[in-house]
Amino acid sequence: MSDTGKHVARAAILLMVTVVLSRILGYGREVVMYTIFGQNYLTDAYRAAFSIPDFLYMLLVGGALSSAFIPIFSSCVATDRTDEGWKSASIVFNYTVIFLLVLTVFAYLYTRPLIVLLAPGLPAQYISLAVTLTHIMFLQTFFMALNGFAMGILNSYNHFAAPAIGTLVYNLLIILVGVALVKQIGIAAFSYGVVIGAALNFLVQIPALRRVGLKYTFSFDYHDPGFRQIMILMIPVLAGLGVVQINLFVTQHLSSGLGSGTISALNLAQRIMNLPIGIFAVSIATAIFPTLTTLTARGELDSFKRTSSLGLRAIFLVTIPASLGLMAIGEPLIKLLFQQGEFTAAMAVATNEALFFYCIGLFAYSSIQVLNRSFYALKDTLTPVIAAAITIGFNILLSIRLVEPMGHTGLALAYSLAGFLNLIFLLTVLRVKVGKLGGSKIILSFSIAAGASLLMYGAVRFTIDNLMSIMGLAFKLNLLISVGVGILLGAFLYAVIVYLFKLEESELILNMVRKRLPGRA
């Protein structure tokens, strides 16, 4: 492998390990909450309460970091202009905090009408609960903004450990605080856990920020060249994020009228679908992003294209089997993890129905993680916005069309089909913009991964169905053995098939593993 590939592999495997641990804690949090409360209007209100704080964070911080801040700051680091980079970062941070405070005050004053707009199907008492929980979680938004900037700075220096560990702390604190206070204050305990977890998430990153040479400047100099570059790049992305959030709001609006627990079922299904995206796609894309920005800053376009193509093929290799694997084990997995306490078998079935249709688009949304960052590294934020506007509009139209005949599964299917359109659009434009990306290799990688995954799916379904029918053990033990054997068999079968083809992206994945084995350099 090239030095670039090895560097990306080392960073990605570190992220994957910490993300896996973080996701385990995240799902532990979900298990605890759904065991205590089940899926009903109570948990629907809790999910709705996340909408406004998350929107403020994604609009001001998520968009800035993913599209504009990291490329500009990374370019300064790569070209030995760190003082300029720190000054621009400080100015962006100062303006972001001011706008965040203004928008938070506005949202606080108008929380009730906003919740009614976003989830009109909730009964009045649960709308009031959602308003209360939203007010609590506004505090989280400030700390998440700090976390976002810390992560962006550290990732630009190729430091990934502290932000990843911070997410572990975040999820752990939600569980601990939620369990400790649930008897006293009910589901609000988990909202307070979110706030405390977000605060400690930032504190964990402070030592790493000091090590890279944190230099904060109290300045609002809007003439600063770096600040102006970031603002120019941010404007179209803010528009794009607004469009994406509108889609999420429309989905929540439609699902709130489908009955108690529907918002929660869709949310849980999407969280499960996002597991391989977070573990594999985001890890690979996050690790590859500083490399892409450095290559573009140095004008090494051929290396940029090879790195983008390799990242895309690596994502195909791991997320296509993940999507079909989740389809195969979905219902027994959900029952194994969640069916206890107030979470019933009917809730597991409803969640799995949504999960199946979400998984159809899993690899597409995974691939978009790399493609968007390829455009951001080229300082092209307009193309992802156009893609988002087209595909989200398509998603909304499909959601409205499919929700009546298919219910909540129609919303999941619409989301997946929109992901396909987004992927095709981005690939086409990137090909036109930078030239050949190794299309034959991409098609070959996709075909091999899809073919092997279909064989794996059949084997896993056959194995689980037969094991569940012949074993006479306790219900949870039956599920544990069936799911465990299915996962091991599927992973082994898929790995053997893919290994025979000696793909370059296979070597990338294997190198990621080797670099973290004991005794390896």
Give this prediction's pTM: 0.76
User: Could you tell me if residue 473 is left (phi over 0), alpha (psi between -120 and 50 degrees) or otherwise beta?
Assistant: beta
- Residue percentage of the chain with pLDDT more than 70: 90
- The predicted-structure confidence for 171-184, as pLDDT tens digits, reads as follows 899 999 999 999 99
CA–CA distances in Å: residue 239 to residues 117, 236, 367: 20, 5, 22
Inter-CA distances, 78 with 85, 290, 297, 306, Å: 10, 9, 8, 20
Question: What is the three-class DSSP state of 317?
Answer: helix
- Beta-carbon contacts of 99 under 8 Å, excluding residues fewer than 6 positions away, are 60
- Average pLDDT over the chain, rounded to an integer: 85
pLDDT digits (tens, 9 = 90+) for 28-60: 888 899 899 999 999 999 989 988 888 877 776
DSSP 3-state of 473: coil
Radius of gyration of the chain measured on its C-alpha atoms? 23
Q: Name residue 195's amino acid.
A: V
Predicted pLDDT of residue 65? 61
**Mean of the pLDDT values across residues 278-285?**
76
Q: What's the token pair of residue 121? A: 């199907």
Contacts of 337 (CB under 8 A, 6+ apart): 27, 31
Residue at token pair 């033990």: 477
pLDDT score of 477: 92
At residue 67 the predicted structure's pLDDT band, cuts being 50, 70 and 90, is low
Q: What is the mean pLDDT of the segment spanning 91-100?
A: 88
Does the pLDDT value for residue 333 go beyond 80? Answer: yes
Joined tokens for residue 481: 């053995």
Confirm if 460 and 490 have CB atoms less than 8 A apart.
Answer: yes
Tell me the C-alpha distance between 52 and 59, whole Å. 11
Could you read off the pLDDT of 184-230 as tens digits, one per residue? 999 999 999 999 999 999 999 999 898 888 888 898 988 888 888 88
Which of 102-106, 111-115, 285-289, 506-510 is least confident? 506-510
235, pLDDT greater than 80: no
Residue 112: pLDDT band with limits 50, 70, 90: very high
* Rounded average pLDDT over 145-162: 82
Tell me the pLDDT tens digit for each residue of 368-384. Answer: 888 988 888 888 878 88
CA dist., res. 152 & res. 289, Å (int): 11
Q: With cut-offs at 50, 70 and 90, classify the pLDDT of residue 511.
A: low
Q: Which of 276, 304, 249 is nearest to 4 (CA)?
A: 304
pLDDT of residue 516: 45
233 has a pLDDT exceeding 60: yes
CA 102, chain centre distance (Å): 27
Mark residue 244 as left, alpha or beta (left: phi above 0; alpha: psi -120 to 50; beta: remaining): alpha
Lowest mean per-residue pLDDT among 137-141, 143-147, 244-248, 337-341: 244-248
Distance CA 76, CA 85 (A): 5
